[in-house]
Amino acid sequence: MPKKQTPLRPYFEKMPDIGKPLSEGEVRRSKENIDLIGEHEEIIAAEIDKVIKAGLPAEKIHDRGGMTIYDRLEYLIDEGTWSPLHTLYNPADNDEGCTGVINGLGKIKGRWAVIIGFDNKVMAGAWIAGQGENVLMVTDLAKRLNIPLVWLTNCSGVKLMEQESVYAGRRSSGAPFFRHAELNQLGIPILNAIYGTNPAGGGYQGISPTILMAHEKANIAVGGAGIVGGMNPKGQVDAEGAQALIEAAKSFKSKAPGRVETHFDETAYFREVHETEQGVLDGIKDYMRMMPAYDPTMFRVAAPAEPKFPIDELNQIIPINQKRIYDATQVLARLTDNSEFMEYRPDYGREVFTGIAKIDGLPVAFIGNRQGVFPDYPDYAEGAYPAVGGKHYREGLIKQGEFVTLCGRDNLPIVWLQDTTGIDVGDLAEEAELLALGQSLVYSIEQTDLAMMCIVLRKGTAAAHYIMCGPQANNNNAFTVGTPLTEIYVMHGETAAAASYARRLVKEDEAGRDISPIVDKMNQMIQDYQDKSRPVYCAQKGFVDEIVSLTELRKYIQAFVGANYQNPHSITPIHQMILPRTIKG
């Protein structure tokens, strides 16, 4: 009988246990917290519902015998694997309530892909403001994770009434065609299921992927049939011109160019043509079977296991009251396989934890903030003040920089759990080199070629939001998720109001003038900070890629880790890893 095992078994098979069951008191006290989180989830769900219902009612598409983007995704993606991203993204506050594309990570026939499709209910998949940026985030994701990009194209081209917001510019809706070329050059395949009429921008959307397959009624073309020529160039439309246009439009009977008769029968651009919408998706499924993907066994260090503690207890552990502290280890214990964690330098830089865990049996690094008070720390303060969790101090920054560098060497993807109020400030902090150490961590991240996932559990504040691999780390950050408890701002509104108006208050007070108008402005500013840091706002503006319930966090981590190990372009043999040995000593 052959004998088999997972690699480096003494390090990975059984790692240190973390976490403990919630006490009766914790359970009793958490009821209000659960309710409050539930209220926030309802607000987010209502916004998501608006996006799903954007444009034509689904019934109208069904009545025409068609499928909506949501029907197509449901048919295409393996059950239980869809992890949507950018659902609420709408940075230009479009009337449509969305950017007209639906995207995320999902498995098709057992393989991870980045999947994106035009919402055919919204102006037949027109280019609308913010869409170009949304698509670029998606192409970046495929590039970072080195996994196929699957397009469900159904694109009517530019929304002509708003062309200035989509057509021109470095990151406009034309930029994705170059990204598609870049992905192809990198060996990342793009599969394209083409539906409906796709003129001009839609045509390039159709032609730019790697493999094209079409519905029998689809077309792709340089320009559409709807552009009626022969306008008298007067610079404006008068009654005579309008009448001529009416006559021309009435007699306009030609079919849309670039139909299947052309691009299957003549040019042979389309690999397949299907009579049914499902047939096209079946074609995509068949091609997904051909996509490069290692079996996870290649990289597993143990058998997959669920955490020992229920994930829904996260709603009891993390207080929605941002001033309340919690035990970050208890959070980690509800995310990692078998609630195990191999911690790197636990006694050094105690305000952050760094270490290795397993997700579905695959090795993953975790970095996050601890909460609470750390007496007799940081050393450089010499007792002048204690360290407070959520902040970063000298040792913690050094530890994170070291750890990230070692992860880079070992090809360990990193999940960051942010709940940070910033980096320590003041003369002592400057003398302790915190400014340079913060940037040093940025350098360490950029110097690796690792995919990272950022979770803004609660607060993402000041430069600490950047240095903990926020979305600004564009080359490494695959995606960032927020939670119903997330707040992202440069500083708390009260701090900002004090910083902005303190001198003015002094001036008015010394002049004997009424300070109440200034006080009103300060409170207005605090409210504005509050309104513009909420989870829905963060998602709409792209501060995060999705808002995810705490109970869904592990699912997103599984998607990230699974996709990361599907087809990595760099491998560290498990038995040659240095980090587990460094931890063990």
Partner 1 sequence: MSTDVTAPMSGTIYKIHVTVGEQVSYEDELIILEALKMENPIYAPADGKVTEIKVSEGTEVETNQVLIVLE
- How far apart are the C-alpha atoms of 546 and 83, rounded to whole Å? 9
In angstroms, give the least distance from the CB of 107 to partner 1: 42
Options 61, 69, 147, 158, the catalytic residue:
158
User: Are the C-beta atoms of residues 150 and 284 closer than 8 Å to each other?
Assistant: yes
- Taking the least distance from each CB to partner 1, the nearer of 21 and 517 is 21
Residues that bind partner 1 (CB under 8 A): 23-26, 28-29, 321, 323-325, 372-373, 386, 388
Is 423 among the catalytic positions? yes
DSSP 226-286: T-------SSS--HHHHHHHHHHHHT--PPPSSBHIIIIIIS---SEEESSHHHHHHHHHH
In angstroms, give the least distance from the CB of 523 to partner 1: 19
- Taking the least distance from each CB to partner 1, the nearer of 26 and 162 is 26
User: Are the C-beta atoms of residues 302 and 358 closer than 8 Å to each other?
Assistant: yes
- Taking the least distance from each CB to partner 1, the nearer of 55 and 396 is 396
In angstroms, give the least distance from the CB of 274 to partner 1: 60
In angstroms, give the least distance from the CB of 487 to partner 1: 14
**Type of residue numbered 144:** R
Closest CA to 428 of 473, 384, 381, 470: 381
User: Are the C-beta atoms of residues 30 and 24 closer than 8 Å to each other?
Assistant: no
- Taking the least distance from each CB to partner 1, the nearer of 26 and 508 is 26
Instruction: Supply φ then ψ for residue 337, to 5 degrees.
Output: -55, 130
Is 158 among the catalytic positions? yes
Tokens 């989509």 belong to residue:
166
Strand partners, 358: 363
Closest CA to 568 of 367, 411, 405, 399: 411
Is 110 among the catalytic positions? no
- Taking the least distance from each CB to partner 1, the nearer of 71 and 494 is 494
Options 365, 423, 473, 481, the catalytic residue:
423
In angstroms, give the least distance from the CB of 373 to partner 1: 6
In angstroms, give the least distance from the CB of 341 to partner 1: 25
Closest CA to 415 of 328, 350, 348, 488: 328
Closest CA to 365 of 350, 390, 344: 344
- Taking the least distance from each CB to partner 1, the nearer of 10 and 25 is 25
Closest CA to 131 of 117, 141, 143, 144: 117
Closest CA to 550 of 261, 331, 229: 331
Element containing residue 335 per DSSP (H, E)? none
- Taking the least distance from each CB to partner 1, the nearer of 388 and 525 is 388
In angstroms, give the least distance from the CB of 524 to partner 1: 22
- Taking the least distance from each CB to partner 1, the nearer of 253 and 323 is 323
- Taking the least distance from each CB to partner 1, the nearer of 25 and 235 is 25
Count of CB atoms situated within 10 Å of the CB of 494: 14
Is 201 among the catalytic positions? yes
In angstroms, give the least distance from the CB of 127 to partner 1: 46
Distance of CA 41 to the CA centre of its chain: 18
User: Are the C-beta atoms of residues 129 and 94 closer than 8 Å to each other?
Assistant: yes
Q: What's the 3-state SS for 199-232?
A: ECHHHHHHHCCCEEEEECCCEEECCCCCCCCCCC
In angstroms, give the least distance from the CB of 486 to partner 1: 19
Options 201, 202, 422, 470, the catalytic residue:
201
User: Are the C-beta atoms of residues 414 and 453 closer than 8 Å to each other?
Assistant: yes
- Taking the least distance from each CB to partner 1, the nearer of 324 and 575 is 324
In angstroms, give the least distance from the CB of 53 to partner 1: 40
Adjacency order of strands within the sheet including 101-108: 83-85, 101-108, 111-118, 149-153, 190-194, 211-215, 272-274
User: Are the C-beta atoms of residues 134 and 167 closer than 8 Å to each other?
Assistant: no
Options 429, 463, 478, 557, the catalytic residue:
463
What 3-state DSSP class applies to 149? strand
Residues belonging to the active site: 158, 201, 423, 463
